Amino acid sequence: MTSTIGRQPSRWLKSTIPLLLASSRLCSAGALYSTYTFDPLEHLGGVAPYFEPQDPPSSPASPQGCTPVRAAYLSRHAAIYANDYDFEEYIEPFTSKVANLTSIDWTKIPALNFLAGWSPPFTAAEQELLTRVGKVEASQLGTVLSFRYPNLRLPTHVWTSSAERTFKSAQSFVRGLETDDNGINVISIYESKEAGADTLTPYKSCPAYSSSAGSDQSGVFLERFTKPIIARLNAAAPEFNFTANDIYGMMELCGYESVIRGSSPFCDLDLFTPDDWLGWEYTADIQYHYNVGYGNRASGPVGLPWFNASANLLLDNAPTDLDLYVSFTHRELPPMVFVAMGLFNNSDFGGSASAINDTMPLDRINYRRAWKSSHILPFLGNLAIERLNCSGSPGFADGDYYRVLANSAPQPLPLCADGPGTSCSRAGFEAYVRERSDLFAGYSEKCGVDYDNTTDTLTIYTDPGVGNGTAVGKREVAQFTENDFAMN
């Protein structure tokens, strides 16, 4: 992971200023002997354990002279045992084949000999549940936010969509953030298919959204990248007859087994090479591009209500109930909010909106893409909008500025860059929110809503009708009823 680019002294420097070099960190012996390293866990899209890629590498610290005074967070739930679709489509067929084909002597097959003593890390009953790692990481995020915002009041409540894995992520988050038992409530928002935009799962109530969008396109690249892997593994274990779905499932097991058992033999680079992992990652990125990204016309309209509601809470000149608004949802919503915000757009610096699908070709990898699902939606993947109070920031007028973070990395908003660091002025941000609203307003119409009683706005943050939720004790005990997290 350690890149040496930029740290190698140029020839000119070497010959002309050796004395300067001798004392400078440009002269790094490490550069000569550095070795290539690669971590598959950072290329696993929606199955990647939480990590912070710092992409771009600008500092997460507030710019000089600026203090966060309000923030809104949207987080995917933390690590789970296995998504039901992944389990049924890719993992279970593979593990049941392993169990059935008892005639294969795995001990004689080098990269796969671990299969001789391997058992799957989960049962069907554990599907979708949060793992221990997930609980710890969600709590850690709570503590990290207390470090990041020492001046903000602790929230009295956080919001979550109603599935068990999001509800429990919110509870674990609260345990890491609250200082005393029962200090913060969790409010559950039902994952209704008819809630219009007024939910934390607005894609579920959007008929224009289909959960299988992107399967056809990603299937094309799946066949392509697994072909040589299948040839290699079938040469080693012909009886097994590896399929493209087996390979995809084995690679997913690297992520799932890691967040369940702490490590996984499927991550071994002798089994799958870095290029294999990059092929897996690109397959997932194609899927998310067409499913929740710029390749789906529903993404912006579904993501806008959260962006608009949160931006308006942060723009409000009057004091708000909370300084910190935190919500938990599933993997679909944060990327759709990024589209509504105009972030991770492959065409941002050139290219027309109509050519966006050309930026994700199906016959080769676009390595330079901005749209990388591993960086956007790992387990616990989160995004934030911050309101900064800047005074005496060199070169900038005193006042309010706004900044967006993705997994703690500051993200400059396109055409909204008139503040210190990656931030944008109040006037600039107001105009930006208006422009994005003009592009994507009209949730119900753009979603082709076919039920009555829809709404285009998200009001849960100010609507007393959502109730006060339930308190969260520091210890994990059942303090909720079945209704608190009706499964979807």
Ligand X SMILES: *[C@@H]1O[C@H](CO)[C@@H](O)[C@H](O)[C@H]1NC(C)=O
Determine the distance from the C-alpha atom of residue 428 to the mean position of all C-alpha atoms in its chain, rounded to a whole number. 27
User: Is position 241 an interface residue for ligand X (rule: CB under 6 A)?
Assistant: yes
Please, which residues have CB within 8 angstroms of residue 277's CB and are 6 or more apart in sequence?
A: 38, 40, 43, 44, 251
User: Is position 455 an interface residue for ligand X (rule: CB under 6 A)?
Assistant: yes
Q: How far is the CB of 481 from ligand X (least distance, A)?
A: 15
Please, which residues have CB within 8 angstroms of residue 436's CB and are 6 or more apart in sequence?
A: 300, 304, 307, 308, 340, 341, 342
In this chain, which of 28, 140, 215, 437 binds ligand X, going by CB under 6 A?
437
User: Is position 97 an interface residue for ligand X (rule: CB under 6 A)?
Assistant: yes
CA distance 235 to 271: 13
Give the count of residues interacting with ligand X (CB under 6 A). Answer: 37
CA distance 327 to 324: 10
Q: For ligand X, which stretch binds (CB under 6 A), given 43-51, 203-211, 262-270, 290-298?
A: 290-298
Residue placing its CB nearer to ligand X in the complex, 30 or 414:
414
Please, which residues have CB within 8 angstroms of residue 385's CB and are 6 or more apart in sequence?
A: 71, 72, 307, 310, 311, 314, 402, 403, 404
Give the CA count within 13 Å in the CB-facing half-sphere of 273: 8
DSSP characters over 331-380:
TTHHHHHHHHHT-S-TTTTSS-GGGGGGGS-SSS--TT-S--HHHH-STT
User: Is position 312 an interface residue for ligand X (rule: CB under 6 A)?
Assistant: yes
Please, which residues have CB within 8 angstroms of residue 373's CB and are 6 or more apart in sequence?
A: 45, 46, 281, 284, 285, 288, 335
Q: Measured between alpha carbons, how far is residue 215 from residues 94, 253, 352, 359 in Å?
A: 19, 20, 24, 17
User: Is position 477 an interface residue for ligand X (rule: CB under 6 A)?
Assistant: no
In this chain, which of 34, 140, 273, 457 binds ligand X, going by CB under 6 A?
457
**Per-residue x/- marks for ligand X, 355-384, CB under 6 A?**
-xx---------------------------
In this chain, which of 96, 143, 263, 320 binds ligand X, going by CB under 6 A?
96
CA distance 272 to 285: 19
User: Is position 315 an interface residue for ligand X (rule: CB under 6 A)?
Assistant: no
User: Is position 93 an interface residue for ligand X (rule: CB under 6 A)?
Assistant: yes
Residue placing its CB nearer to ligand X in the complex, 32 or 353:
353
Q: How far is the CB of 95 from ligand X (least distance, A)?
A: 9
User: Is position 342 an interface residue for ligand X (rule: CB under 6 A)?
Assistant: yes
Tokens 């960086």 belong to residue: 375
User: Is position 243 an interface residue for ligand X (rule: CB under 6 A)?
Assistant: yes
Residue placing its CB nearer to ligand X in the complex, 119 or 354:
354
User: Is position 215 an interface residue for ligand X (rule: CB under 6 A)?
Assistant: no
User: Is position 100 an interface residue for ligand X (rule: CB under 6 A)?
Assistant: yes
User: Is position 272 an interface residue for ligand X (rule: CB under 6 A)?
Assistant: no
Residue placing its CB nearer to ligand X in the complex, 277 or 401:
401
CA distance 214 to 289: 7
Given a contact cutoff of 8 angstroms between Cβ atoms, the answer to whether 297 and 60 are in contact is: no
398-427 positions binding ligand X, by CB under 6 A: none
- Please classify residue 456 by burial: count the beta carbons closer than 10 Å to its beta carbon, then call 0-12 exposed, 13-18 middle and 19+ buried: buried
Q: How far is the CB of 204 from ligand X (least distance, A)?
A: 16
Q: How far is the CB of 411 from ligand X (least distance, A)?
A: 13
Question: By three-state DSSP, how is residue 182 classified?
Answer: coil
Residue placing its CB nearer to ligand X in the complex, 361 or 467:
467
- Please classify residue 28 by burial: count the beta carbons closer than 10 Å to its beta carbon, then call 0-12 exposed, 13-18 middle and 19+ buried: middle
In this chain, which of 121, 295, 303, 412 binds ligand X, going by CB under 6 A?
295
User: Is position 468 an interface residue for ligand X (rule: CB under 6 A)?
Assistant: yes
CA distance 200 to 198: 7
What sign for the dihedral angle of Cα 312, 316, 319, 323?
positive
User: Is position 470 an interface residue for ligand X (rule: CB under 6 A)?
Assistant: no
In this chain, which of 107, 467, 476, 487 binds ligand X, going by CB under 6 A?
467
Written as six digits, the tokens of 170 are 């919110």
User: Is position 389 an interface residue for ligand X (rule: CB under 6 A)?
Assistant: yes
Given a contact cutoff of 8 angstroms between Cβ atoms, the answer to whether 21 and 371 are in contact is: no
Residue placing its CB nearer to ligand X in the complex, 129 or 439:
439
132-161 positions binding ligand X, by CB under 6 A: none
Q: How far is the CB of 139 from ligand X (least distance, A)?
A: 25
Residue placing its CB nearer to ligand X in the complex, 347 or 408:
347
**Per-residue x/- marks for ligand X, 51-70, CB under 6 A?**
------------------x-
Q: How far is the CB of 374 from ligand X (least distance, A)?
A: 21
Residue placing its CB nearer to ligand X in the complex, 277 or 338:
338
Tokens 């387990």 belong to residue: 379
The one-letter amino acid code at 52 reads E
Count the helix, strand and coil residues of the chain and give each as a percent rounded to the nearest 5: 45, 10, 45
- Residue 380: phi and psi, rounded to 5, are 70, 10
Q: For ligand X, which stretch binds (CB under 6 A), given 16-24, 125-133, 295-303, 423-431?
A: 295-303
Site of interaction with ligand X (CB under 6 A): 69, 93, 96-97, 100, 241, 243, 290, 294-295, 297, 300, 305, 308-309, 312, 339, 342, 345, 347-348, 351-354, 356-357, 389, 391, 437, 441, 453, 455-457, 467-468
